[in-house]
Structure 1
C-alpha cells in the first residue's frame, strides 16, 4: 500500500462526504471566518466511527481536533495554489474519468449481460476453431472474400471431412498447426464476446456458422461441455525460481527431498511452514485461498489442484513458470450463487467487449432524454465541403476556407460549432470508411458525431445529474490536494533533510534497539535416532553438507537443516537455544526433534542509523507533521463554537 492509499484511508475518516446541508445546521467552527457546519461533522463522525481503529479518535474532542487539522491543511493547500498544478489537475481528471464509468451505463442492459455471464459461467466448453483473418475495417470486398472462404470450409466439415485436418490446412491461427485448432476448456470472459456467444450457442458436436470478431471469421466446433468445476481449496509447498541457475538446481532437488519427507508421514503443514517460499501461504501451513478454473496465472497448477481428491490428496512435485510445487487437497466448494459473484461479474463486464452494448443502449436513451437540434444550413455547407479526397485519406478540414464558427448541433444548451464536425470527419479517415456517396458518408458521420457529443454532454453534467457523484469527487479533490501538500511539506523534507533526520535519530536512539541475536545452525528430524546421529556428527565437527550427505543417502530424507541469524523471540528459533555457544541439547517440539549449534551470540544493542533508516524516516515524518499542524493553528484564525459543540456531543451520544 502506497502513501496515497494510506492518505485516502485517513480521508475516509476525516473528510466531508456531502455538500448538501440540512436546515438545522449550525456553524461549529471557522477558519479565517470561513464556516464549517455541524451537520457535516456529525455525518462524517457517525459514518466512519466503526472504521476508526484508534480509540482516541472516537473521543469527540480528539476527533474535532483531527477534523480541524484536516481542514487547516486543505486551506493551506489552496493558499499555496496546489489546486492549479498540472499534475494535480491531470490526476483529478483521470480519477473523474474512472469514476464516471460507473454512471455511463444502461442498468437494464447491464443486468441482462451480468445474468447471461453467470448462466454461461456454470458451464465450461471444450472448443476448436478455424480462423479466417480479416481486419475490422476491411473493405466489403475483402470481408466477403473471408466470409465465403469460411462458408466453403464449413461445407467440407458438414460433408464429413475432419475438423482438425481442415484447421491445420486453412486456419490462420498459428497455433492450429500444433493443436489442430483445439483451444481446450474455457468459460465466460476467456474469449472475445462474439466468439464466446458463438461457442455457447452451438450444440456439442456441431459447427457454428461463420462468427465475426475483430480478428476475422471463425468456425467454432464444440467438442464437449462440462459443468463448472467450482472452487478447490488446496495447500502447497513452493520453492521459487530465480535467475540463479545453481539455486534453481538446488530447489529442484530440495522439492524432491520435501516430497520424500511427506511420503514418510511428516505433516504437510509443518513442512510448508518451515520450507515453503510462498510468503502469503507458508505461515498458514501452505493453505491458499479458494480458486476456480482460469483464476490463477498457472494453468498447470490449476489442473493439478483440480485432479486431486480425498482419495488422492497429494500431488507429486511439479514445475510451473513460477517454481516447483507440491499440492495437498483440502476440499472443494460448489459453484457460487449469482448474488455472491454479481459484483465480480460486473467488474469483468466493464472491461469486456460487451460493454459496447451498454454504451450503445445508453446513447439511445440520451437521444430521448435531451433536446437535439441540427442546423440544416451549416450541415448543408459541410456536405459541400467534403470531397472525394476523403476516401484517399488526404482530405483536411483546414483546407475548407468557409468559416464554420456557427453552431451545427445543439444539445439542450450546449452548442457544437461546424468546425468541430469538420475535424471529426477528418479524424474519421483513419477508420478507412468506404460508405458512398459522400452525402451518405456525411449522414453516417453526423450520427456518430451526435452520439459523441451526447455522451460528452452527459458526462460533463454528472455532478448535476447525480449528487452522490459530486460528493465523491469533492472528497477525492480534497484528498488529492492533501496528498500533494503532505508530499511538499512533510515527506520530501523528511527524505532530504539529512541533518534533521540524523539529529532526530540521535535524540531518539533508545527507540531503535536490536534484541539479542543468535547465529545458529538448526537440524530437524521426525526421528529421534537420526537427530542423535546429527548430534554425534556435529560434536565431531562435521559440516551441514557432510551430515546431510551421510544421513540422507538412502531413499528417504531423514534430516533437514536451516541456518541463519535469528533475533530473540523469533518463531524460527528452537526453544532450547540459550546464551551458551556450541551444541544445544536435543529438544522435541510437536512431531519434530531439533538440535542446534550456536555459532555466535550478538548481544542486544543499538541499531545503527543505516539499520533502521526506514523506521526513523517514518517517525520523523510524524514528528514533522505534528509540529507543522501546530504552526498552521498559529497561521490561521480558528474559532470553535463551544456551546454548539456541546450540543453536537449530546446529540451524538443519544
Structure 2
C-alpha cells in the first residue's frame, strides 16, 4: 500500500502540472518557481543548485508549508496576538518603501563628504523659547536680521557682534567660535549653513529649535579619523591651585620619562578623572571635530604612533597628559554607508526623503486640493456646530463637500474636522487660516502615506514576499510551540511513556569517581601515595608539602572519569584506592578511586534536557506524518530541477 502511494506521489506531477511554472501543490495551494527560488537562494550560500540539494530542500519546504497550513486551519492567523505581532513587523519593514531612495543616496553622499571634511565655524544666535508667540518670533528674527546687516555693511565685525550681541551664553568667551565639527554634530539646518556658506562669508538666517542663527565658516580641513586614548588629569580651579597642579603633572611626566612607573600605574594612582583612572586612564575613542576642547584634541592627534604620550598641556578642565592607544582612519563610503543611512533616519535629514516621496505620490495619484477656507470657517462659525460631538455636525451646510481626492479615494470637510478634533486644534482658534492650512497639509500627508501602505504589496513584489515570509514565520513558531516545544515540556505522561519506550537509548558509560593527581614527576606522585597511606594527610596538606619549592609541582581535582582511553586505563582493571602512577599526555597521573560506577541506563531526571529534545523530535515526526497523510502533495520535478544557479 505504501509503495502504491509513493509511486502515485512521484508520477502525479505530470497530471497536475504539465508545463506549468508551479513547483509544488498542496491540496489547492500552489507554490510557483519564483516563490520557491526566493526562499531557496536566501537560505543557501552556494550559487549552484545540485539535484541532491533540491531534493533535500523541497522536503524541508514541504514540512514548512504543511505546518503553516495547519496553523491557518486552526485560525492562528486571525488572533489578536498574531495580527499585532505581524503589524509590528510591518511598521518596520515598510519604512524603506516610504521614502525617496534617490534623495536618500544623495543624503548619504552628502553626509559622507561632511564626515571626511570638517568645518570650523562661528555663530551668532537670538534665542527662542519652546513655544514662542508670533510676536517673540518676529522680535528674534528682526534682531538677528539687524545684526547680520551690521556685519554685511562692515559696521561691525562678526567676532565683535558675537561677543556683544549673541544670546549664546558661551559667545562672550569664545566670540561665537564653535571649533571644528563634521556631520551629525549640529542640527541639520545649522550644519547646512556651515557647509554651504563660503569660508569667511556670513550665511543667510537659519531657524533651529533654539532660535535664529547666522553662521560664518572660518576654515575647513580633512577629518583625522579617531584615536583610542588614555589620559592623566590633574584638575585646577584657582591660580594658586594651578601652580600646584602644574607641579604635580610635571612630576608625573618625569616619572613617565624616567620609566619608574607605567602610564597606567600613574593614571590609577594620580589621575583625578576617577572614572577613567580605574581603567588605567582609558577614555575610549576620540573623533576629530568631536566634543573635546581643541587643545585636548590637538594633543591627541599630534601623537604619531601607538603607545606615544604627550607633554603636559592645559585645558579649562585642568592639566593633562594623553597617550595614544590605537588609531583608525575614516572608512570609505561603501564601508560607512550602512551606518550613515541609520544616522540619517534618526536625523532631520530624513524629512527630506519623506517630503520628496510625498511630492512624488501627489503627482502619481493626481492629488487634487479643493479646500475652501470660506466654507470651512463657515462651518466652524455655524451656531449649531458641536465640537464635543463631531458626529452631530453631519447635516451642516458644506460639511460633505469634497476637499481632497487622489487615486480612487476622496475626503470631505467632515473627514478633516474629525482629524482636527483628535488633536484638539479647532479648540484653539477656528479662524486661524495659517494653522488650518498647516494642519490640512499634515492631513494630506497622513492620508497619502496611509493609502500608499495599502499599495505596497502590489507595487513591490519583494515587499510582498518579505511580508509573507514574516507572516508564515510567526505562524510556524506558534503552531510548532503548540504541537512540539511546549507540549513536550507540559506532557509529562507522554514524556515518561516515551522515555520508558526508549530507555536503552540514554546510558551512563562505565565511570569512576575519585581524585586525579597530576605532576611532571613520577617521583612526586609516589610521594603522594606515601603521604596519603602512611600519614592520612588531606589533599591540600599534601599539596602544601610537595609544592613548597614549586607551586605547580602537583595539582589535583576531584572528578568523575569516563574517558579511560585518555589516561591509558581499563575500567575492569581499576581498583579502589590508588591506581598508578601512569603516563599520559606527556605527564604523569595518579588516581585515588573512591567508587566504581558501572554502566547503567540514565534516569529521566538525569537526562531530562536531551530526552525532552528527543521527545520533541518524535512529536514533530509524528505530526508531520499525520499532516502528509491528511494533505495531497504534488511536486513538479521537471520545474524543480530546472533551477540551476543563483539569479
**TM-score above 0.5:** yes
Q: Is the 8 A contact 2:224 2:288 kept in 1?
A: no
Q: Is the 8 A contact 1:134 1:142 kept in 2?
A: yes
Structure 1 residues 188 and 212, CA gap change in structure 2 (3 angstroms): same
Q: Is the 8 A contact 1:124 1:187 kept in 2?
A: yes
1:119 and 2:119 aligned: no
1:452 and 2:446 aligned: yes
Equivalent residue of 1:359, what SS? Answer: helix
Moved more, 436-445 or 104-113: 436-445
Structure 1 residue 69: deviation in Å?
0.6
Q: Which residue, out of 461, 477, 481, partners 2:475? A: 481
For residue 426 of structure 1, what is the aligned residue in structure 2? 421
1:626 and 2:618 aligned: no
Q: Is the 8 A contact 2:76 2:475 kept in 1?
A: yes
Q: Is the 8 A contact 1:106 1:362 kept in 2?
A: yes
For residue 195 of structure 1, what is the aligned residue in structure 2? 190
Q: Is the 8 A contact 1:396 1:426 kept in 2?
A: no
Structure 1 residue 437: deviation in Å?
5.2
d(CA) in 2 for partners of 1:610, 1:139? 73
1:137-286 pair list within 5 angstroms: 137-147=131-141, 158=157, 161=160, 170-171=167-168, 186-201=181-196, 211-218=206-213, 226-230=221-225
For residue 648 of structure 1, what is the aligned residue in structure 2? 640
For residue 282 of structure 1, what is the aligned residue in structure 2? none
Structure 1 residues 108 and 311, CA gap change in structure 2 (3 angstroms): closer
d(CA) in 2 for partners of 1:493, 1:352? 47
Equivalent residue of 1:49, what SS? Answer: coil
Q: Is the 8 A contact 1:314 1:327 kept in 2?
A: yes
Residues 292-348 of structure 1, C-alpha deviation per residue, up to 9 Å, x if partnerless? 83999999xx98997865362699xxxxxxxxxx99846x45432223323332232
For residue 99 of structure 1, what is the aligned residue in structure 2? 93
- Taking structure 1 as the reference length, what is the TM-score of the superposition? 0.60
For residue 372 of structure 1, what is the aligned residue in structure 2? 367
Q: Is the 8 A contact 2:21 2:639 kept in 1?
A: no
Residues 419-456 of structure 1, C-alpha deviation per residue, up to 9 Å, x if partnerless? 2211223345559987x954555444434423332232
For residue 346 of structure 1, what is the aligned residue in structure 2? 341
Residues 19-66 of structure 1, C-alpha deviation per residue, up to 9 Å, x if partnerless? xxx99535544333434445544564355432699x999533322211
Q: Which residue, out of 442, 455, 460, partners 1:461? A: 455
Structure 1 residues 144 and 32, CA gap change in structure 2 (3 angstroms): same
1:60 and 2:54 aligned: yes
For residue 525 of structure 1, what is the aligned residue in structure 2? none
- Taking structure 2 as the reference length, what is the TM-score of the superposition? 0.60
Q: Is the 8 A contact 1:132 1:216 kept in 2?
A: yes
1:77 and 2:71 aligned: yes
Structure 1 residues 214 and 428, CA gap change in structure 2 (3 angstroms): farther
Structure 1 residues 440 and 349, CA gap change in structure 2 (3 angstroms): closer
1:590-605 pair list within 5 angstroms: none
Q: How many residues are aligned here?
A: 515
For residue 395 of structure 2, what is the aligned residue in structure 1? 402
Larger Rg: 2
Q: Is the 8 A contact 1:106 1:361 kept in 2?
A: yes
Q: Please report the RMSD computed on the Cα atoms of aligned residues, expressed in angstroms.
A: 6.3
Structure 1 residues 165 and 213, CA gap change in structure 2 (3 angstroms): same
Between 1 and 2, higher relative CO (CA 8 Å, sep ≥ 6) is seen in 2
Q: Is the 8 A contact 1:136 1:216 kept in 2?
A: no
Equivalent residue of 2:344, what SS? Answer: helix
Equivalent residue of 1:410, what SS? Answer: strand
Q: Is the 8 A contact 2:512 2:594 kept in 1?
A: no
d(CA) in 2 for partners of 1:516, 1:298? 61
1:518-557 pair list within 5 angstroms: 541=544
Structure 1 residues 38 and 459, CA gap change in structure 2 (3 angstroms): closer
Residues 181-231 of structure 1, C-alpha deviation per residue, up to 9 Å, x if partnerless? 887764312332123223434677888676422243456676875432236
Q: Is the 8 A contact 1:229 1:292 kept in 2?
A: no
Residues 523-555 of structure 1, C-alpha deviation per residue, up to 9 Å, x if partnerless? xxxxxxxxxxxxxx99883999x999xx9xxxx
For residue 360 of structure 1, what is the aligned residue in structure 2? 355
Structure 1 residue 134: deviation in Å?
2.8
Q: Is the 8 A contact 1:126 1:186 kept in 2?
A: yes
d(CA) in 1 for partners of 2:205, 2:643? 68
Equivalent residue of 2:132, what SS? Answer: coil
d(CA) in 1 for partners of 2:177, 2:486? 55
Structure 1 residues 519 and 122, CA gap change in structure 2 (3 angstroms): farther
5+ residue gaps, structure 1, are: 1-21, 236-259, 269-289, 316-325, 523-536, 552-558, 570-578
Equivalent residue of 1:212, what SS? Answer: strand
Structure 1 residues 516 and 23, CA gap change in structure 2 (3 angstroms): farther
Equivalent residue of 1:91, what SS? Answer: helix
For residue 384 of structure 1, what is the aligned residue in structure 2? 378
5+ residue gaps, structure 2, are: 1-16, 231-255, 265-283, 311-321, 520-539, 563-573
d(CA) in 2 for partners of 1:213, 1:126? 19
Q: Is the 8 A contact 1:29 1:36 kept in 2?
A: yes
Residues 147-195 of structure 1, C-alpha deviation per residue, up to 9 Å, x if partnerless? 456668887994755968988xx5469xx99999887764312332123
1:34 and 2:29 aligned: yes
Q: Is the 8 A contact 2:514 2:560 kept in 1?
A: yes
